[in-house]
Structure 1
């Protein structure tokens, strides 16, 4: 079922992109009849269907049509983007009330901004070093589990030696035995986790031990002798081994692990449950994805790009809720507002990410996020012709609704990416 949903998402996105990027074909002025609808033509385009009089059939025209549709947009993009950033309310209101020839359609602007955002996100480097404290945490859990088991065993011994006369015969002993059994299961689970952590630690210690050795020549011997504690770097006369792996430790000597290692450790946990019970097919499918973190991340990103169009319909009910009593406002107006607002948010996030990659201005990139509520206020005020107080309280609720929509969409794409 998830495959059909994924295919539907890809088809919807591809159709929207195709419609958004479709541009006019070049060619000279025409005459005679239109090749599409056969209506008389007196200029470069058919007055009946709008098609060019002479469609381009050259191979180079394919690239030209694509670049024209992507970058030219009849110069609409260069008018729409500045308006979206500086005067979003005027842009939305003009488009809703019929002044559309100068601007990109809301869906086109949304798709352009979404693709720009995913391109920007693709430049982010995932964190590589994460402190590994699993050994210590697991050891503490094991100590607590053993203490609980000892306490339960003491209670069982007391119940057997001094049964309570007011309780039914055997009830106190049965309850104590159940407590001992549960405590023993907890101890067994903690011991398995500790064994796994110690095995990982042993592999890292082995990797650190397999460092290049220092070879020194003893004049009294005919063969060179190797020192037992050899430093990682060689001095004059040293011959390091060719296949020695580097040490798996950072500058402080603490162990480190990648985020992929962390996900694999989660997948190896016996208590791994995401959907349903631990033995369900869906849960096992997610476990296999966690065992291959790079593939899991790719599939989540792929699902996010394919289903990004759902952001607008998810936002629509919340926007309509804020204007239930306002006359003359339709769902079309809300959808145009939502698409333009989401397009600005995507452009803003793209700018934050790309500027964050520049060292000398990365500290200022996060401050750009403050533009989101300011932009939302002026967008609402201009698009719906609101007073300042009406725009202020609607902005407050809209920010909360945006958080709900973003959280819902994030959960949705994670589920579709991992369970697909």
Structure 2
């Protein structure tokens, strides 16, 4: 096989900026037609500045053409998109992995643009008061309300309204206790897990929420791909004995689904930044609807089969996100 430089030298560039070779400049295979049948490279390479920008525009608009075929199906007919791609229709659509990487890049770009760096002081609440001050104030209010309630009882009057206020203050104290450090309070509910990885995530957020969120911001984009291998086995559990649907089908499903959820998050962040209404409704209602439609279209599930699998996938998604957070925090701690 001749060296590439020799091949270029053997076929000099013409005045039109084109090479006029008879063998491929990449692998030296004799050319038959407009492309090499061995490696696929185009024959007669263009070596002009105009050709360079032509290739650039062609690449951009070729991707743009695919993206406009892909996004409408991803949004409204995700099951059809998943099934068509898994069955081999590739030319018209952006591949799941390429779309996922693009959506992750876009999400973090928008996130840093609209929210910037987020800093959280674990000793300060959202209103600028320290947790200790908030706890002391809530305790004083609770004592005052309990004294008022005792007076009402002695007067044989109804305590219904003040009971609600007392319950509210107790709830506030429970919340302060749950976000305080382990030594800041003697009681209060604690979220726990017997799974070591999940317990590590919970402890990290409880001990220093600001640092945990900072680590997630710093490392999540680099390890976003981990969500795919975490999620695929969970989807496989919903079709464990299927001979028709293999791990490849599940991987295409998961990657397109993650791409949509990431792009949805981008839309929600922009909507919140613009102050548009209805964000909470979209955030709660759209993901299960999308999963349901994708299950029905990709796997041909009936309504009941798609419904219970949708519920299961929502639970699996929460577990996957917690495991993903554990991976990030573990990696951040290792570095």
TM-score (norm 1): 0.52
Distance 1:30 1:105, change over 3 A: farther
Residue 298 of structure 1 deviates from its aligned partner by 5.4
Q: What is residue 130 of structure 2 aligned with on the other side?
A: 133
User: Higher Cα Rg: structure 1 or 2?
Assistant: 1
2:115 counterpart (111, 124, 132) = 124
The question of 1:311 aligning with 2:221 is answered no
Q: What is residue 108 of structure 1 aligned with on the other side?
A: 98
Q: What is residue 175 of structure 2 aligned with on the other side?
A: none
Residue 354 of structure 1 deviates from its aligned partner by 1.0
User: Could you give the per-residue CA deviations for residues 231-283 of structure 1, whole angstroms, max 9, x where no partner exists?
Assistant: xxxxxxxxxxxxxxxxxxxxxxxxxxxxxxxxxx98xx9xxxxxxxxxxxxxx
The question of 1:388 aligning with 2:303 is answered yes
How many pairs does the alignment contain? 252
Q: What is residue 280 of structure 2 aligned with on the other side?
A: 366
Q: What is residue 337 of structure 1 aligned with on the other side?
A: 253
Q: What is residue 63 of structure 2 aligned with on the other side?
A: 73
Partners of 2:311 and 2:273 lie apart in 1 by 31
Q: What is residue 48 of structure 1 aligned with on the other side?
A: 38
Residue 67 of structure 1 deviates from its aligned partner by 6.2
The question of 1:377 aligning with 2:315 is answered no
3-state DSSP class of the match of 1:41?
coil
Counterparts in 2 of 1:219-298, with a 5 A limit? none
2:236 counterpart (295, 299, 320) = 320
Partners of 2:300 and 2:19 lie apart in 1 by 44
Partners of 1:330 and 1:302 lie apart in 2 by 34
Distance 1:351 1:82, change over 3 A: same
Distance 1:298 1:45, change over 3 A: farther
Partners of 1:113 and 1:409 lie apart in 2 by 18
3-state DSSP class of the match of 1:51?
coil
Residue 70 of structure 1 deviates from its aligned partner by 5.3
Report if aligned partners of 2:106, 2:266 keep a CA contact under 8 Å in 1: yes
TM-score (norm 2): 0.64
User: Could you give the per-residue CA deviations for residues 26-53 of structure 1, whole angstroms, max 9, x where no partner exists?
Assistant: x979652111122233444323211122
Structure 1 unaligned spans of 5+ = 1-26, 141-264, 270-285
Report if aligned partners of 1:299, 1:418 keep a CA contact under 8 Å in 2: no
Report if aligned partners of 2:21, 2:44 keep a CA contact under 8 Å in 1: no
Partners of 1:55 and 1:352 lie apart in 2 by 45
Partners of 1:138 and 1:375 lie apart in 2 by 42
How large is the RMSD of aligned CA atoms in angstroms? 3.8
